Amino acid sequence: MTRTPVQRASGRRDRPGYDRDSLLEIAVMVFNERGYDGTGMEELARRLGLSKSSIYHHVSGKEELLDLAVSRALDALFAVLDEDGDSQATATARLERIVRRSVEVLVAELPYVTLLLRVHGNSEAERRALERRREFDHRVAELVARAAAEGGVRNDIAPHLASRLLFGTVNSLVEWYRPEGGLPAAVLADSVAAVLFDGLRARSVR
């Protein structure tokens, strides 16, 4: 997902050096470093090497950048729920697959998911993002309840608590996981699913 600023062919009225995606990528990096609330358009313009009016050529302002960034993360996470349409699979197998795939999305979209998880709800765009996060949690909790009903997951932990522990663990990866650290996304996804579904304890039979 790494994009470098594109070199525009001359003759376009668009600003040289950036399209909206590459501008977004740098804005998200700055938001993650300094906090969304703490970043002004002046600082963004400075880091992009653009005038503020050049940024307004691409987006209506800071809030649209936030909206684009967190929508990218949320769309990718909801796609994981929606792609999981195998009606033959048990709810438990689907839940495990969603955990694994969410780890992969988190790795692929790391800066965007990181920003999403830091959103506090101080603006309309942030409140919309929080609403979609709650909807995601709700759908996962429903699936946990079905998995418990079919006997696949333990029933001594309430579905909403189980859902929060599953995604608390997945989301905590943004705090330390760095792709350049050499741990492949697939190994990370397997390890997270192994601990969450089968536990860290050694067993004679797995």
Work out whether 185 is an interface residue with a copy of itself (CB under 8 A).
Answer: no
Work out whether 195 is an interface residue with a copy of itself (CB under 8 A).
Answer: yes
Of 47-55, 108-116, 123-131, 148-156: span binding a copy of itself (CB under 8 A): 148-156
- For residues 87, 89, 93, 94, the Cα torsion angle rounded to the nearest 10 degrees is -10
Nearer to a copy of itself, 108 or 161 (CB): 161
Say if residue 69 is exposed, middle or buried (CB neighbours under 10 Å; 0-12, 13-18, 19+): buried
Nearer to a copy of itself, 110 or 188 (CB): 188
Candidates 59, 73, 64; CA nearest to 118 is 73
Lay out the site mask for a copy of itself across 16-35 (x = CB under 8 A, - = otherwise).
Answer: -------------------x
Work out whether 159 is an interface residue with a copy of itself (CB under 8 A).
Answer: no
Contact 17, 26 (CB under 8 A): no
Contact 153, 95 (CB under 8 A): yes
- Residue whose pair of structure tokens reads 């390890």 in the numeric block: 191
Q: Which residues sit at the interface with a copy of itself, rule CB under 8 A?
A: 35, 37-38, 92, 144, 148, 151-157, 161-162, 164-166, 168-169, 171-173, 175-176, 183, 188, 191-192, 194-203
